[in-house]
Chains A and B, each alone.
Chain A
Amino acid sequence: MADQSDVWLVVPVYNEAQVIADVVRNALQTFPNIVCVDDGSRDGSADAIRGTGAHLVQHPVNLGQGAAIQTGVEYAREQPGAEYFVTFDADGQHQVADVVRMLDRLRAEPVDIIVGTRFKGDDSHIPLIKRVVLKTVVAVSPKLRKLKLSDAHNGLRVFNKKVADELRITLNGMGHASQIVDMISQRGWRVTEEQVEILYTEYSMSKGQSLINGVNILFDSALKTGSRR
């Protein structure tokens, strides 16, 4: 297996004590460097992370997933030898094999960031409502069509040091996915996407963002000009 010591996995964690240790141990078999950002969990997620061999950064208060990703990336990019970065969900939805494949592409191809997509192959395993909503988002967004991205809200992303250094997520909540898309188009990062598999377990379904939260995301994105500086 290729040496992955220049890769850092950034895992935002919020109340995932049940599964986080297993997810991290499993990923550690392939990736030696993992930083878990505990986003003010109240269920002992931090204790579950301690002892797994992952680095632990704890937000003193709950800030939101966007903020946790930014924190994790800021931690990881300061580590010696860090060249490639991965955002990886804590609930076990993402597959290590997908990450390895994306990293191989990132090392070989002239791209800065690779985003996971659920919609390149067979997507019948995705819950119907989710499929319809996610596809609508893409259909109404000219930016996504221009960048040829089919799944903006996929949490699995792999990117290089340039992107990590320039990444500045200011939307603390779930709006960060669209903000990353904005940054891709504004800063001219070379982007492509890769088919990934998302495991919809009962656990991840109960934890995943509800569709009604899409309203919040839209609102935040529409008004984010206010927090620009």
Chain B
Amino acid sequence: MLIQFLLIAAVIVLLVFFLKNHGTTKTAAGVKIGFLLFLVLAVVAVIRPVEVSKVAELVGVGRGTDLLLYALVVAFGFQTINTYLRFKELELRYARLARAIALRNAEAPEPPQDAPVVEAVERVEDPAHTS
């Protein structure tokens, strides 16, 4: 059936598109346009359900509601990937932030007991270095 081909094609295209262009301005703009289209279609579907059913029949789905359901499933999968990638990116930034803090507060080992007591300064040279 045509719908099967369309749905699978949509999933693959979205996946490839997202993994390739994730995080660029172009993608962000694409998402917004997609969202607008989605809103327009939603309004059309509410006002003229018959038209949706016609489109559904055209691609080989029984009813307009079924078509909407299928489209929703694809959109949901797409959203899930998007969220996952965003989380990964945030995690990376968060790690860099934590790393910067960790490196600033690094503690070098205390000098040997008989040495004069010096306040622990960050990144003092290891006493073993100079020996």
Contact = CB atoms under 8 A, between A and B. Distances in A.
Interface of A: 5, 32-33, 35, 37, 50-61, 63-64, 67, 70-71, 74-75, 78-81, 170, 172, 223-227, 229
Interface residues of B, number: 30
A61 B89 CA distance: 17
A71 B102 contact: yes
B110 A51 contact: yes
10 contacts: A5-B128, A5-B129, A33-B129, A51-B110, A55-B108, A55-B109, A57-B106, A63-B95, A223-B84, A224-B88
Q: Is the interface of B mostly helix, strand, loop or mixed?
A: helix
A176 to B, nearest CB: 11
B106 A75 contact: yes
A226 B88 CA distance: 8
A11 B118 CA distance: 26
A163 to B, nearest CB: 18
Contacts of A35: 106
Contacts, number: 87
A67 B99 contact: yes
Given A60-B98, A80-B129, 8 more contacts: A32-B128, A35-B106, A57-B107, A59-B98, A63-B98, A64-B95, A67-B98, A79-B125
A67 B128 contact: no
A56 B107 contact: yes
Contact of A53 (B91, B95, B109): B109
B126 A32 contact: yes
A74 to B, nearest CB: 6
Interface of B: 18-20, 22-23, 84-85, 88-89, 91-92, 94-95, 98-99, 101-103, 105-110, 123, 125-126, 128-129, 131
A198 to B, nearest CB: 28
A60 B100 CA distance: 10
A223 to B, nearest CB: 7
B84 A172 contact: no
B106 A226 contact: no
